Structure 1
Amino acid sequence: MAVISGALTLSVAMGRAPRDKKEGGAMEDVAKLAATEASPSFWRGAQSGVSKPDIRVVKEEKAWAALWKEEFNTEAPKVDFSRYFAVAVFLGLRNTGGYGVEFLTPVAEKGKVRIAYRVKSPGTGSFVIQAFTQPYAIQLYRRTPLEVTVEKGD
């Protein structure tokens, strides 16, 4: 029994990430900004009301409600904007299905947080729906005191 207990203690201790020396400071571990504890914290789809590419950073309830009303003609999901902010990426009108948005790990650079995203495209010869689509993705992130920029990544 002591061997099992010791093995469990060792495996738990080894699985822990080292503490960031700057924890709670301005240069917090930005890789952990994605709000995984909020449910839901991520929305994506192939149909929105946005026909041109657009990026939005939403930090307040009024803008959040307007985004959902204007682009999806529905009520906005509940979000605690004292703890979170949202990044919405709209790809605009596409001729087929198979497109999407993938958010990359946030990176701290020069006192700012850079949130990059990748456009996912259908592969050559892929079977996709032959219909117009307007792909989008929306991700919640934990609030940060740093300035946030959003851009297309690699």
Structure 2
Amino acid sequence: MLIIIVKKHNIKVIFMITLFLFCLIIVSSCKNILTENNQTTTVSFREIDSKGLNPENIPTQKVIFRNQQSWEIFWEKYGKKVAPQIDFTEYIVVGVFLGPKPNPGYGVEITRIQKVDSQIVVKVVEYVENPNLGYADVIVYPYHIVSFPRTEGEIVFTVEQKFRDEE
């Protein structure tokens, strides 16, 4: 009788292990299907500005410029000089503005732009003060503006926060 109980227990264990492995195979194959279907392409970009505006007047925001008119209106309102020339038939401009921050430990940088299927993903690193470092008490207005080749699709921003001076 004891032998039969052990055998039934072994059958249950073998069944559970088999079921677990089967589920693991199914889940891993689904992950491969999802990642294979995403068409991801890195998009080259160039910096337009990170110093030429009066950023103290610009609210915290992410901006997208697809035409000359909106670009010039923005620059007239916030710029210290004439707006940089952009050929909007060839390029799109995006920018990130953090608003006022209490010290130079804060900053922002657009680090990568990728086309993922039909979306353009703008990857942003927002630097925050490192609690292990000291900073001058100076109000800063971090921002970064870049352009990239014109492409169709929804533009989305993803933001990652890092401590300043952290690699």
Name the TM-score, length of structure 2 as normaliser: 0.62
User: Which deviates more, 42-51 or 125-134?
Assistant: 42-51
When residues 151 and 50 of structure 1 are mapped into structure 2, their CA distance, relative to the original with a 3 A threshold, is farther
SS in 2 for 1:106: strand
Q: How does 1:33-72 map to 2 (within 5 A)?
A: 33-35=44-46, 41-45=47-51, 48-50=55-57, 52-72=59-79
Letter in 1 for 2:130: G
The AA in structure 2 aligned to 1:92 is G
Among 102, 114, 134, the residue aligned to 1:95: 102
Identity of aligned residues (%): 19
Specify which structure has the bigger relative contact order, considering alpha-carbon pairs within 8 angstroms and separated by 6 or more residues: 1
- Residue 156 of structure 2 corresponds to which residue in structure 1? 149
- Which residues of 2 match residues 3-152 of structure 1 at below 5 A? 30-35=41-46, 41-45=47-51, 48-50=55-57, 52-152=59-159
Deviations 1:89-130 (A, max 9, x none): 000111112321121322333421111201012322434331
For the aligned residues, what is the CA RMSD? Answer: 2.4
1:30–1:65: structure 2 CA closer, same or farther, 3 Å change rule? farther
For the Cα contact (< 8 Å) 2:43–2:115, is it kept in 1? no
Query: Per residue, is there more strand in 1 or in 2?
Result: 2
Distance 2:80 2:56 in 1: 8
Q: Give the 3-state SS of the residue equivalent to 1:107 in structure 2.
A: strand
User: Residues 123, 113 of structure 1: CA spacing in aligned structure 2 closer, same or farther, 3 A cutoff?
Assistant: same
Instruction: List gaps (5 residues or longer) in structure 1.
Output: 1-26, 36-40
CA shift, 1:61, in A, is 0.9
Structure 1 runs of 4+ aligned residues shifted over 4 Å read none
Aligned length: 122
Q: Name which one, 1 or 2, has greater alpha-carbon Rg.
A: 2
Higher helix fraction: Structure 1 or Structure 2? Answer: 2
